[in-house]
Chains A and B, each alone.
Chain A
Amino acid sequence: EAGVAQSPRYKIIEKRQSVAFWCNPISGHATLYWYQQILGQGPKLLIQFQNNGVVDDSQLPKDRFSAERLKGVDSTLKIQPAKLEDSAVYLCASSLLRSSYNEQFFGPGTRLTVL
């Protein structure tokens, strides 16, 4: 079974530039999550999708971050414009169902450096 795929693996940009990350979850997984993991901290949930609908985006900085999951499969996360404090690893995860009782499968992440 293929795991969660993410690209790119690394990205370096200057502040005020824009960047986009892509995620392909495990086939059949209805729920998709985007996390931000700053060095030395645990993953922080940015947004959660159930199929192609948003169920939680309470911690997403909506003035600069946006995400979509068209057709309920792949997802993209965009930052525009980027700030220095956005430097982090962006992890995508998926689970079979929406319930917190489901384990989450994480992708390898995209390491973003904002200069």
Chain B
Amino acid sequence: GQQVMQIPQYQHVQEGEDFTTYCNSSTTLSNIQWYKQRPGGHPVFLIQLVKSGEVKKQKRLTFQFGEAKKNSSLHITATQTTDVGTYFCAAAGGTSYGKLTFGQGTILTVHP
């Protein structure tokens, strides 16, 4: 089955520092979604990327989809304590109709 690798597994930052998590697949993806899960909560949809080289921004969050559609990244500028949580990428392969494979997630802690 499709595998999605996400790094790093953990990231500890001081408030105000930047944060980046990376998602990699060995196969070409049709689309990729990003979710955030707060401690004790459930995954919440953030954004979807579909086009090669696509870049989307949501306030301090920047999402990128690689040119080859095999990798993606999420970058947070000037982290805040409200950014704490686990960030998951969820990828759909070319033959996966409606099926998302989640990465293991990156746990972000922000020290005030």
Contacts of A98 in B (CB 8 A): 97-98
Q: How many residues of A are counted as interface, with CB atoms below 8 angstroms from the partner's CB atoms?
A: 29
Q: Are A42 and B98 in contact, CB atoms less than 8 angstroms apart?
A: no
Q: Are B97 and A100 in contact, CB atoms less than 8 angstroms apart?
A: yes
Q: Are B44 and A106 in contact, CB atoms less than 8 angstroms apart?
A: yes
What number of residue pairs across chains A and B have CB atoms under 8 A from each other?
Answer: 65
For chain A, what secondary structure do more than half of its interface residues adopt (helix, strand, loop), or is it mixed? loop
A41 and B103 CA atoms in complex are apart in Å by 8
A42 and B91 CA atoms in complex are apart in Å by 12
Q: For residue A4, give the distance in angstroms from its CB to the closest CB of chain B.
A: 9
Given contacts A91-B42, A107-B42, A109-B42, is CB(A99)–CB(B105) below 8 Å?
no
Q: For residue B63, give the distance in angstroms from its CB to the closest CB of chain A.
A: 14
Q: Are B102 and A44 in contact, CB atoms less than 8 angstroms apart?
A: yes
Contacts of A59 in B (CB 8 A): 1
Q: Are B105 and A42 in contact, CB atoms less than 8 angstroms apart?
A: yes
